[in-house]
Structure 1
Amino acid sequence: MPPRPTRPPGGGPRRPPATRATRAALAIPLLLGALLYTTWTVEAFLPTGLSPLQVYVSELAARDQPYGTFFRTADLLAGLLVLAGAVGALVWLPRRGWAVAGWAGLALFGAATAADSQLALSCAPTADAACAAREAAGDVPWTHSAHTVSSSVAVGGALLGMVLLTVAARRGAGAWPALARTGPVLVVLEVAATGWTLASVAAFEAGRGTWALGVGQRLQVLFIAVWIAVLAWSVAAAASPRERRG
């Protein structure tokens, strides 16, 4: 007998539970997006000339950097893959309040990350004093300001998705146990890393050094990627209500 369709709490068309194949199809782009979002780690093997202790991750992708095209392409693909996975989840997975808002936040993160890759910095301000001076004087392309906006939107979308989908996992009667267990810890770590990054940015803009800005932001990006990977695993391994009942 085929699975019995379920109707969302607010009414609307009946929707059958997602099959294993559907869940896998949604998890794959999320996992690939998470992996690509950690491409910055290969800086350890490339002669970038930039210090990971002080530079923004996005400075690796600046237009004047030797590996800029590589990092921009990785960010573009990461954003598009996460966007595809999140939109697919909105279409194919059960529509419950916390989850819908969380998937929307994750879709926003993906779209903003893809946009961010195309609004690249022209130079690396934390590593290049001349670039920093031009930026302070407003003598840089408009993409610098746009990049700041898209980066902020991406982080905001990621935080929204992380919090709401973690809540959905905790309230989901065992559907996503991996995310229910690890999600709260990753959310706390992400908030702490974001606070560190914001404080470091404020210090840099006030001329008080970078406060290990690069470390804080790399942790911020890493925790997002790890959380998305856990989400992907949770979606792929999720049991349907019938399977959970045995």
Structure 2
Amino acid sequence: MTEPARHIRGYSLLIALAIALAGLCYSSWLLEFVLPIHTDPVNTFLSELDAEGKPYRAVFGTADKIVGLLLIPAALGALLVFPRRGLTTIGWVALLCFGASTIADTLLPLHDCDPGDSSCGGDSGLFPQLHQPHAMTSTLAVTSIAVAAFAFSAAAYRYHRWKILREFGVVVLLIGTAATLWMMIADNLPGSYALGIAQRIQVTTMSLWLLALAAAVLTESRAS
């Protein structure tokens, strides 16, 4: 193995490790079942775990910041180290945006919406919180990782690489897409449609996809 190839392999391992750790940190919401938090997973959003005034806001907020602080340099490193191709470039840039949006999520936390609270921008079905600035950062985060997932999935087929993204990654992506559609449609319908469950499925698929991407990068480095 030549010296440049050895360096690229080393960088690839670091990038894969950062992405994997980010995926694990993004599943920190599972601590709601361990910590003494009285939540209703069926009908509450995960953003409420680190909302203003919540007792464990520091725990969940720190985990999200770590996600961003890991993914931003990982995406930048990938853009510098790996060969530039159209779809993968889109994927890495989108992943960088996801990391930045996740940090912004913690800097613009959710706050309670009392009846008549004008700062929430009015009612939005079951969740008036959706009118808060936090909704914008959350939407950017979800959109960014969706773009990244679709771009890398397309790249895996087009460039005949990353078998794990062509198989496991695509399954996770489809489940996440179904959960997102569930949330988008149900929130505009009268009644309760377990949007909390839908979001938890969505976020779980995001974490699993990050782990799949990390495995793909690691496999690619070993094959090179």
TM-score (norm 1): 0.80
**Looking at CA atoms only, which structure, 1 or 2, has the larger radius of gyration?**
1
Q: Distance in 2 between matches of 1:42 and 1:196?
A: 24
2:168 aligned with 1:182 = yes
Q: Is the 8 A contact 1:120 1:143 kept in 2?
A: no
Residue 117 (structure 1) shift: 1.1
Describe the SS at the equivalent of 1:46.
coil
Q: Distance in 1 between matches of 2:184 and 2:7?
A: 40
- Compare relative contact order (CA 8 Å, sep 6+) and give the higher one, 1 or 2: 2
Residue 140 of structure 2 corresponds to 153
Residue 173 (structure 1) shift: 2.8
Gaps of 5+ in 2: 122-128
Gaps of 5+ in 1: 6-15, 124-130
Describe the SS at the equivalent of 1:238.
helix
* Pick aligned residue for 2:16 from 16, 27, 37: 27
Residue 57 (structure 1) shift: 0.5
The CA deviation string for residues 106-153 of structure 1, in whole angstroms up to 9 with x for no partner, is 111111011111100122xxxxxxx34244x3368x996221111111
Q: Is the 8 A contact 2:8 2:81 kept in 1?
A: no
Q: 1:173 to 1:118 in 2, by over 3 A?
A: same
Residue 104 of structure 1 corresponds to 93
User: When you count helix as a share of all residues, which structure comes out higher?
Assistant: 2
Q: Is the 8 A contact 1:48 1:65 kept in 2?
A: no
Residue 116 of structure 1 corresponds to 105
Q: Is the 8 A contact 2:26 2:63 kept in 1?
A: yes
The CA deviation string for residues 73-103 of structure 1, in whole angstroms up to 9 with x for no partner, is 1111112212221121111111111100111
Q: Distance in 2 between matches of 1:212 and 1:132?
A: 21
1:24 is matched by which residue type in structure 2? L
Q: Distance in 1 between matches of 2:108 and 2:130?
A: 5
TM-score (norm 2): 0.88
RMSD: 2.4
